[in-house]
Structure 1
């Protein structure tokens, strides 16, 4: 029995990092959908057709199973940042890139009027996903524990790691569908919060996540109701902010396209 437990714990600790699970990403996408401007909504519809932002939000994670080298190697570092201090600096980006460099790259692609529709669709899906990623505190790590993946804990008695708890287990513990959860959160967002969170600077999002990340490491690895109660409001806050900021960012992108021509880069 102990051998089975250790194997399961090892597998959980070495699983790949996904910032928010599918439910979390869909929640941020659904909130964003409700806050798009008319111009942004029309552009999203032109690119994605009937696919909404809730569906688009999970696509970069869905594609991680593709054997294509782009997904297995090139895009792998684009879901997180590693920050040694309290604020992200350009020097924090490794040669292979990170979520910040990817966000910059895809923003340029999406704003460029000469980018193909297919590439714009790719860029849009990544932007929605990356903004959600940067609001998950363990995807703004210090480079010491793989974003909490090597922090072994139990969740209601079952072996896992801290990253998985924040990706999905705290959200799934509410037993709500993504649409129910998004509706609940959207109803609680005040006009004052929409104005205050209308912040398109990713370094602000990262700073917030780092500040939160420092408070979420448990002293007792046996996590259950107490831990869920202590951090539920924080999870909800990060999901709400991510949704509002996805919308704000896309509103800006689509209302401020880059000029055509050689100088656009």
Structure 2
């Protein structure tokens, strides 16, 4: 309950500044990172540690990346550093219209979207000739962006900045600053992660195979479909129907959303583990 109230206070205090690049918040990103870390090979775990021990090369002392959990939120922390990293603003999301056929064409201009950056960072990590600083940065970006891609409202959109303009209620909570995006970023993520059993564990080969097929574009389509069929559908009934003045997520609806939200975190963690094994193994 204490964490919930902290999250709610964050929404009330900072909701007006919410943008399409807003994070999956710390709890979501750290959980995806922790799942991945438990499920990579021991050799890759050691390589992650070796790279992160060089995090001082990033020269971001106010945004440390000493552990994979810290690295998972580094890409959001550096937003506070102003123009130095402003080029990365659009890398956290891709606004693919949920009411049209799925395509990344036209939704990822010049590689400035989350899926393209995941592929770029994976390539940088694989290349041992790339300078250490760039590989450390690629690792931090990759861990974060895989988390972002699995927050459905970073992958699907209704012309509302991924739900940022979709005013919403969450149970008994209703304020002008609360919106569908912030609910999935924070309040629902908190509820999903804190619902037992723990998501951070070693998964079986069968469980990993069930979610690890395909590539980044397939995972993008998967998250986009969750945005349409779960996130927007739960808020509007018809995901492409009329938009109410305020979407209302009652307790019964929230209960139904817990498992899909948990599954997105698991998919993110296991898919990140696959990419890290491929890049650093």
- TM-score scaled by structure 2? 0.77
Which residue of 2 is the match for residue 149 of structure 1? 164
Give matches, 1:113-132, under 5 Å. Answer: 113-132=128-147
Provide the C-alpha distance between the structure 2 equivalents of 1:122 and 1:197, rounded to a whole number of angstroms. Answer: 26
Question: Hey, what's the Cα distance between the residues in 2 that align with 1:187 and 1:105?
Answer: 28
Distance apart, 1:15 and its partner CA: 1.4
On the 8 A contact 1:150/1:161 being kept in 2, the answer is: yes
- 231 and 108 in structure 1: CA distance in 2 versus 1, 3 angstrom threshold: same
The corresponding residue for 1:97 is 112
Q: Distance in 2 between matches of 1:173 and 1:203?
A: 28
Partner residue in 2 for 1:66: 81
CA deviation digits over 1:119-142, x for unaligned, max 9? 111000101111111111100123
Question: Residue in 2 aligned with 1:35?
Answer: 39
Judge conservation of contact 1:110–1:253 (CA < 8 Å) in 2. Answer: yes
The equivalent of 1:233 in structure 2 is 259
Q: How far apart, in 1, do the equivalents of 2:270 and 2:101 lie?
A: 23
Matches for 1:217-232 after TM superposition, within 5 Å? 217=232, 218-219=235-236, 221-232=247-258
Aligned to 1:185: 199
CA contact (8 A) 1:32 1:243 kept: yes
- Structure 1: segments with no counterpart, 5+ residues: 1-7, 256-265
Cα deviation, residue 40, structure 1: 1.4
Cα–Cα, structure 1 residues 227 and 35, in superposed 2: closer, same or farther, change >3 Å? same
* 1:222 alignment partner, SS class: strand
Displacement, 1:79? 0.3
Secondary structure in 1 matching 2:130: coil
When structure 1 is superposed on structure 2, of 103-112 and 235-244 the one drifting more is 103-112
Tell me if the contact between 1:189 and 1:240 (Cα under 8 Å) persists in the aligned partners: no
Q: Counterpart of 1:184 in 2: which secondary structure?
A: coil
Deviations 1:74-126 (A, max 9, x none): 10000011224443434431247111222232222222222111111100010
Which deviates more, 234-243 or 110-119?
110-119
Partner of 2:15: 12
Please identify, of 26-35 and 96-105, the stretch whose mean Cα deviation from structure 2 is larger. Answer: 96-105
Give TM-score, length-normalised by structure 1. 0.82
> What is the CA–CA distance in structure 1 between the aligned matches of 2:188 and 2:23, rounded to whole Å?
13
SS in 1 for 2:163: coil
Q: Number of aligned pairs?
A: 242
Deviation, structure 1 residue 188 = 9.0
Query: Tell me, which stretches of 5 or more residues in structure 2 are unaligned?
Result: 1-10, 54-64, 237-245
Distance in 2, matches of 1:141 and 1:195, equals: 25
Check whether the contact 2:156–2:228 (CA below 8 A) recurs between aligned residues.
no
